Structure 1
């Protein structure tokens, strides 16, 4: 049995503030709102010995231009990805990396495993080859330090708390996978922490009236706060930040 510690970096659509919000939600942006542009992974054996790594960048085809927010956060640029292979090709290489041995995905939070399956489904690739067993490391760290599992720590905070040497930049899929694997070694979770991810599970929710973002009102509020008019680029960043905030992807402790 192997542990596959994975970390992903995503790109998103650069919002057009003049676009009607209803139109924004009916196409590929709903099917795949986060496009994977980097896969980083570390493979550990059953005794937590690292014996292989994976690091590949991906040429985006859903959102060809890397958003300013993502570029600032990760350092990944549109120009950098132009010569990389597209997701289906990198995905096949990733499956080869995983291999035929029974494996357990280990992730920092749930967003990476969800988006991996969603990207695979979007590209109409066979996701049945991916491991379904997984361990979410993030809440286990909180419990380890006597904190509620609902109070989630940032990866960097956890690394510092475990006194793991910081010699690579964060917000890089390869580096973050390495740090997460080092934390996994410290925790060595029991089999009771292993869960099964069902990518085909459909969550039935009560029907609520469809809500849209008042883009004009949102921008006006920010312009009022800063007492000036915003450029089109600034308006796009505000809308993107608002939508990313709603995903709760970057909640800190």
Structure 2
């Protein structure tokens, strides 16, 4: 079994395309993925830019991701880049992970419009919501953002946030940690203590992850 962690960056469909926006609000403009082998060791990476078909890159997207119109103009359209991703995943049994289900929803919506012959069960049969698995392991009722999940692990984000490949690599670190239950519990014990407070508990996770501390008050 192989394990792929994927992240997408997206750009909103221009309001000039009203009919398209009824079913497709965004377009993928970058794929980033890392493949882990059966031992969860990093084996390969995948990254490409995608040229949007329904409007130019918005300024706020460039500010967030660093992706410019010039970068995507040098890439292929979605149909070719998605097929390149599928080919890179390969035929070996593979689970594909993302942080939340937003990425698979995006791919399914975009495939319906641009690759109507693609069998969406290829995605459904492989996809795992790592964010939900992480939250379930901790007993959280609210989902954590990737940077806060890393903060709870006492791990700094490596690279640049909202860069698809860096996001995928950092997400894969969470997947790797979750394979060792004893190490996971030891690493996450400060979080577990907050979720199951004792009367004499005086420590706070606020400095580590303020949003998680706020969430713990709701539990």
Q: Does 1:182 align with 2:146?
A: no
Aligned-partner SS, 2:122: coil
Alignment counterpart, residue 28 of structure 1, candidates 20, 23, 28: 20
Match of 2:101 among 90, 106, 110: 110
Gaps of 5+ in 2: 182-214
Aligned residue pairs: how many? 181
Partner of 2:63: 72
4+ aligned runs moved over 4 Å, structure 1: none
Distance, in Å, in 2 between the alignment partners of 1:171 and 1:189 is 27
Question: Residues 15 and 69 (structure 1 numbering): CA distance in 2 closer, same or farther, change over 3 Å?
Answer: farther
Query: Is 2:144 the partner of 1:141?
Result: no
Which segment is superposed worse, 82-91 or 121-130? 121-130
For residue 136 of structure 1, report the CA deviation from its aligned partner: 0.9
**Alpha-carbon distance change, 95 to 129 in structure 1, aligned in 2, over 3 angstroms:** farther
Range with greater deviation from structure 2 (159-168 or 31-40)? 159-168
Superposed CA RMSD in Å reads 2.4
* Shift in alpha-carbon separation, 1:129–1:144, aligned structure 2, 3 A: closer
Aligned residues of 1:40 and 1:174 also touching (Cα < 8 A):
yes
Change in CA separation of 1:118 and 1:184 when aligned onto 2, cut-off 3 Å:
same
- The 1:94–1:28 alpha-carbon spacing in structure 2 relative to 1, beyond 3 Å, is same
Q: How does 1:100-249 map to 2 (within 5 A)?
A: 100-124=91-115, 125-128=117-120, 130-131=122-123, 132-148=125-141, 151-188=142-179
> Which residue in the other structure is 2:196 paired with?
none
| 1:202 equivalent in structure 2 | none
Comparing 82-91 with 122-131, greater Cα deviation is found at 122-131
CA distance in 1, matches of 2:79, 2:126: 22
- Asked if the contact 2:33/2:165 (under 8 Å) is kept, the reply is yes
Contact 2:2 2:93 in 1 (8 A): yes
Task: Report the secondary structure of 1:43's partner residue.
Answer: strand
TM-score normalised over the length of structure 2: 0.75
Shift of 1:104: 1.1
Which stretches in structure 1 are left out of the alignment for 5+ residues? 17-22, 191-252
Return 88-97 or 104-113, whichever deviates more: 88-97
- Deviations for 1:81-136, whole angstroms, at most 9, x for unmatched residues? 11111111112211111000011111100110111122122112523573423221
What's the secondary structure of 2:22's corresponding residue? Answer: helix
